[in-house]
Amino acid sequence: MLCLPGQTSAAPVDPEPTDSPAGESSGEELWGPASPGPQLLCDSSIWGAIISLIDGLKLQNRLQVEDVFLQHHQVSSLPAALPGCKSNKEACLHWVAEGLQTYMVATKHLESQSADNSLPANIRYLCGLLISQIKQQMKKPEKVRVLTSSEEEQLLKDIDRLDAFSKRMTALSILDQFRAFLSDSVRKIRQKEKAKQKRNGISYERTTQRN
């Protein structure tokens, strides 16, 4: 089980935390039940931990609105789920890592709409850990682009709304979009990792038989 840090400041997003707060789990504890062979990214417990925090924010604020209504408050600048992910795993991981960084910035909008702004801060912290795990699986992690300060400011400006009701609905829309992004990403990554695992298993069996 993941132990989350205490409330953090709203400083510029750091996608890769280097020092864990006191009591923070690290290393193998951040992975779920091990699959045979190398650790799979889809087994990381961080996916579920972030989704649980998102659900907690929605419940805490009692933000229950019809999906059709929320469509009018969707943020177009937020990344959608993986676009089919027909490309290789490296390209998929690249898309997810950059998408997570964008959502990390968007969660700053949630702080003004949450009774406990430590939840958005904890979401950002876990996103940073997940990005680190994703980069460990990549061949060229340095290709993952980090948003500049001006790009962060523009994103938050695009999200901001004039009246309190619109701010509230936008916050819920961000949570729904983020949850869908995470769920779809881990599902498609799992498909690719399991398929590769199966191919490697078959390849190993054939080699053994020939020997």
Is residue 88 one of the residues assigned to a domain?
A: yes
Residues in the chain with pLDDT values less than 50: 1, 7-14, 18-31, 33-37, 68, 203-211
Is residue 153 one of the residues assigned to a domain?
A: yes
pLDDT value of position 123 = 95
Is residue 6 one of the residues assigned to a domain?
A: no
Is residue 4 one of the residues assigned to a domain?
A: no
Cβ neighbours around 151 below 10 Å, total: 14
Please state the pTM of the whole predicted model.
0.75
Q: What is the pLDDT of residues 80-138, one digit of tens each?
A: 776 655 668 888 899 999 999 999 999 988 887 777 778 899 999 999 999 999 999 99
Is residue 42 one of the residues assigned to a domain?
A: no
pLDDT value of position 72 = 60
pLDDT value of position 205 = 46
Is residue 1 one of the residues assigned to a domain?
A: no
Q: How many domains does the chain have?
A: 1
Contacts of 90 (CB under 8 A, 6+ apart): 138, 139, 140
Is residue 38 one of the residues assigned to a domain?
A: no
Q: What is the CATH number of the domain that holds 189?
A: 1.20.1250.10
SS3 101: helix
pLDDT value of position 37 = 45
pLDDT value of position 106 = 93
Contacts of 33 (CB under 8 A, 6+ apart): 43
Q: For residue 150, what are the domain limits?
A: 49-210
Is residue 18 one of the residues assigned to a domain?
A: no
